[in-house]
Every structure is written in C-alpha cells, then in structure tokens.
Amino acid sequence: MEKSEKLKTVKFYSGEVTPLEMHKVRVVQKLNLLPVEERKDAIFGAGFNTFLLMNKDVFLDMLTDSGTNAMSDNQIAAMSVADDSYAGSASYTKLEKAILEVFNQKYFLPVHQGRAAEHIISKTFIQPGKVVPMNYHFTTTKAHIEMCGGVVEEIYTDEALKTKSSFPFKGNMDIGKLNKVIEKWGAENVAFIRFEAGTNLIGGQPFSMQNLREVSAIAKKHGIKVLMDTSLINENLYFIKIREEGYQDVSLKDIMHEMMSYTDFSYFSGRKVSCTRGGGICTNDHSIYMMMRDWVPLFEGFLTYGGMSVREIEAMAVGLYESLDFDVISHSPQFIKYLVDSLDKSGIPVITPSGGLGCHLDAGQFISHVPQSQYPAGALAAALYVASGIRGMERGTISSVRDADGNDILADVELLRLAFPRRVFTLSQVKYAEDRIKWLYDNRHLIGGLEWIEEPPVLRFFVGKLKPIGDWVDKLVAKFREDFGDSL
Ligand code: F0G
C-alpha cells in the first residue's frame, strides 16, 4: 500500500461529471420487470410493505446494501480454499490477520451478522439505568439497548436532520449536547458513547475525524468508552479523504488506523463493509475482549467461526483489504452523487449533500399532502414500486414505534431510502430510476396515505401489513398507462 494515494478521477472530454465503473461485469443475474398492473397486484399482496415483496417481482432491488453487494473475483477465489473445521480453521487466522492490518485491532470476536454483535455488546454493557449517547440510532441497535433496559440519547448536530444542506459531515456529534448528556446522567451511568460511521438513518452521512477526535478526548476525560459501528466505514473513509482538510494525501489505511485509535472497541456488519455476510467485534483492549468472549460460543458458534461459514470468512478477509482500495470504495458514493445531484437540480426533495449507502428521498416534502399519521415514506415506497418495479425501504414512522399510550412516535424525518448495493447497478439502471422518480414527482398529487391491517409489536416495519387509504393506486396505474402507453 502506497504511503500517499492521490485522488484518482477520470475527467470526460465533454466536461460532464459522469461516474465510471472501475470494474467489469463477469457474472450476471437476469432481471424481471413486471407490467405496471402486475406490480400493483404484487404490492397489494405484500401488504404495501416492500420487505414482503418477492425478489422475482422486483426490477432494481434498492431495499438495502446489506448482503446484496457484488463480490470481487478475488473474494470468490478465496472461498474455494476455505479450511473447513469447527475449531482452529486456517481461514479464521487469515481473517484475524486482516482485522489487524486493516483496522489495527488485535482481538476479534466473530458473529453471524451486525445485530448479533449488538446483542453481545448490549448484554455485556447495558443494564437498567444506563444511557448510550450516539450520533444517531440504528433500528436494531436501539432495540437491543432498550431490551437490556438502557436508554438511547441522540446527540446529532442541528444540520443532521435538514434535508437540504451543504454541511459535509452531518454524522457529527454535537459536543455541547454530549457534555450535557454526561452531566445529566453522570459519567458512571454512560455505558459507552456509540459513533456510527456513515450514519444510516439520516442518509448515510459521515462524521469528520476532527469530531471523532474531540468526542474521544471528552470520553477519555470522563473514563467513558467509545464504541464505533464500522458497518458503513468504507464510505466514511472515502468522505474524510475527499472532504476533510488535511486528509487528501493520507492513505486510506492511515485514515482508518487514526479513526480506530480514538475508539475502545468496534463492531461491524460484514453484509456491508466486506461485501459478504457475517460480522464481528474488534478491540485492542484485552479486558473488553474477555468481558464478551464467552457469549460468542453460547449465542453464535465457536470462537473461530461465530456462526459464519469458513467460505464467508475467507471472502470477508479479502473484502476487508479491498475496503482500503479507493476504486472499490468510491464507486457507490459517486453513483449516489450522480442521482442525488440530478434529482436535486430538478427540485425533487432529496437529502443533500449526497452520502454513502443510498439516495434518500424526503417523503415528507415529496408528498407533503399526506399527513405523517398516514405514513408518507411507506406510501412513497409503494408508489415508486408501482411506477418502476424499484424496491426501496421506508425509513420513517413505520420504522418507529408506539409510545406507552399506543400513539405513533412520529419519526424525525420521513425518508424513502434507495440503497446502492456496491458494484451492482450500471449507469443506465440508475438513469431509469432517475426517470421514474421524476415522473412520480410530477404526479405526486395522485399518491395517498396508508393504514395498518396487521401491526406487529416489535420492529413492525419488517413484517407488518398495510393498505392504501382510498383508490389512489388505481389512479396512479391509469396515469402510468396514459403517459407510457404499453411500456413496462
Ligand atoms: N449497524 C448499521 C449501521 C447498519 O446499517 C446495520 C444494518 C446494522 C448495524 C445491523 O447489521 O444487518 O448485519 O445485522 N443495516 C441494514 C440496512 C439492515 O438495510 O441498512 P446486520
């Protein structure tokens, strides 16, 4: 790895800013685009919940970047030399080496996916009366902390929830709010401070190294541990390199190691960061490792596989090294930027600046006539599927919970997330998404709200079912036919 990697960009003669794939496609999967009437039937069948659509009915699957990324040829090659054994697998030794070289972390606990790490961390560090300050929550993280009796305090900056912003680091913590939370709860009741890289629910937004450094200094002063969720660290690394002063000539590896030097322990979902499955917990602190070690064989599997297949472990090691390759980690943010900038230019409410992970439409503004009690983000997700066969994910009030009196706790923002699985879509597919979103925006007055048919008590967004209020879906289909003729 070179000490200094210059930013590599390809300029077009036309002057256009066009993202360019720095890889070629060697394995493909056939896609299916249903006619609009069949898409309507499919969304009714799925209870207006895009999680319940079958993949055969989906054209572009932008539900998530989790477990849907394209592996490299080297990852697939590595899988064929996996060392199958319950204990002491050579594949695991390779992964430990990758964890040390990429993250500079000595101790590693493998788990079957990110939320399993959250389970073990929460079980170890959270009891009733404990608080976890964080830049923003993630659904499974918050659920695990609350199940153990803990409380989440979000201490994001005022910029974080603004749809339109040019602030480059919306994932930063508000230092003033952090100090207040520590004062209010007492340092001894802060289980740890959680920093989420590439903050998922506010639009895949990064934090800056400077902010992390400041938070780490405050934590040290009070004897509080810092935990980093590195599931989306690749894109956070990319943004520090291109947006933060002083980092343009620093290698990705050095940026990563500096970030990790400000944390006491970290965990990741391999479904994102390494384009595989699985996950893990990393630390350089032997006592932290020992506090959690014995839960792994109980909940996940023996310490040298933790619920992962050895093939996955081989691919994960290679995937982690690839997260330090600028060509690999810049692909997704550049494609996302292309879509976000184009929609923004057309006046469509979309989270800016573009982040990692995906393009986030602001459903609250997109269909401002639909009240939040009728779930605008869920309604927009269903409408976009009908209009295009594209499956996005509701990240609004349906993803929230009810209070003790049974009332919806309205989400801070109603977002429709269109995730970009890494190295999966081509530019013409992104242009198709752009076209259909623009059509939907021009016809947004046709979209109505949703109401529950079946509402599960926990993480209701996964399997809950809803129905449209009124006949707005029929009107949307009729307008589609009028404008697109016999087009799919
Ligand atoms: N942390 C972050 C920041 C995540 O985005 C996720 C998963 C997890 C933890 C949990 O990891 O899925 O491997 O158990 N995010 C997925 C998503 C589900 O679609 O954004 P997991």
Per-residue pLDDT tens over the stretch 210-235:
999 999 999 999 999 999 999 999 99
For residue 1, what pLDDT is reported?
45
In the reported structure, the alpha carbon of residue 271 is separated from the centroid of ligand 1 by a whole-number distance in angstroms of 8
To the query of whether residue 395 is one of the catalytic residues in this protein, the response is: yes
In the reported structure, the alpha carbon of residue 229 is separated from the centroid of ligand 1 by a whole-number distance in angstroms of 10
To the query of whether residue 272 is one of the catalytic residues in this protein, the response is: yes
Place of tokens 């964890």: 99
Q: Which residues contact 218 (CB under 8 A, 6 or more apart)?
A: 175, 178, 179, 182, 224
Cα atoms in the 13 Å half-sphere on the side-chain side of 451: 3
9-65+326-484 and 73-322: same fold? no
Place of tokens 């340092």: 187
- Residue 291, Cβ density class (10 Å: 0-12 exposed, 13-18 middle, ≥19 buried): middle
User: What number does CATH give the domain 73-322?
Assistant: 3.40.640.10
Strand 193-196 versus strand 226-229 pairing type: parallel
Residues linked to residue 82 through DSSP beta bridges, in sequence order: none
Phi-psi region of 153 (alpha: psi -120 to 50; beta: other; left: phi over 0): beta
To the query of whether residue 139 is one of the catalytic residues in this protein, the response is: yes
* Tens digit of each residue's pLDDT (9 = 90 or more) over 67-108: 999 999 999 999 999 999 999 999 999 999 999 999 999 999
Name which residue sits closest to atom 5 of ligand 1, judged by CA. 200
Pick the catalytic residue: 174, 229, 264, 362? 229
Pick the catalytic residue: 130, 395, 417, 436? 395
In the reported structure, the alpha carbon of residue 486 is separated from the centroid of ligand 1 by a whole-number distance in angstroms of 39
> What sign for the dihedral angle of Cα 163, 168, 170, 171?
positive
* Tens digit of each residue's pLDDT (9 = 90 or more) over 115-142: 999 999 999 999 999 999 999 999 899 9
pTM of the model: 0.95
Q: Which residues line ligand 1 (CB under 6 A)?
A: 64, 66, 113-115, 138, 140, 196, 200, 229, 231-232, 269, 271, 279
* Domain extents in the chain: 9-65+326-484, 73-322
Name which residue sits closest to atom 2 of ligand 1, judged by CA. 231
Measure the CA angle with vertex 424, ends 30 and 21; round to 5°.
120
Cα atoms in the 13 Å half-sphere on the side-chain side of 436: 24
* Tens digit of each residue's pLDDT (9 = 90 or more) over 322-355: 999 999 999 999 999 999 999 999 999 999 999 9
Lowest model confidence (mean pLDDT) among 1-5, 147-151, 287-291, 377-381: 1-5
Place of tokens 């997330």: 417
In the reported structure, the alpha carbon of residue 275 is separated from the centroid of ligand 1 by a whole-number distance in angstroms of 13
pLDDT confidence tier of residue 458, bands split at 50, 70 and 90: confident
For residue 7, what pLDDT is reported?
65
| Cα separation, 72 vs 182, whole angstroms | 44
- For residue 193, the surrounding DSSP H or E stretch is strand 193-196
- Checking if the pLDDT of 363 tops 70, the result is yes
Name which residue sits closest to atom 4 of ligand 1, judged by CA. 231
Measure the CA angle with vertex 277, ends 169 and 357; round to 5°.
25
At 417, is the secondary structure helix, strand, or coil?
strand
Output helix, strand, coil percentages for the chain, rounded to the nearest 5. 45, 15, 40
pLDDT confidence tier of residue 259, bands split at 50, 70 and 90: very high
| Cα separation, 376 vs 394, whole angstroms | 9
Superfamily classification of domain 9-65+326-484 = Aspartate Aminotransferase, domain 1 (3.90.1150.10)
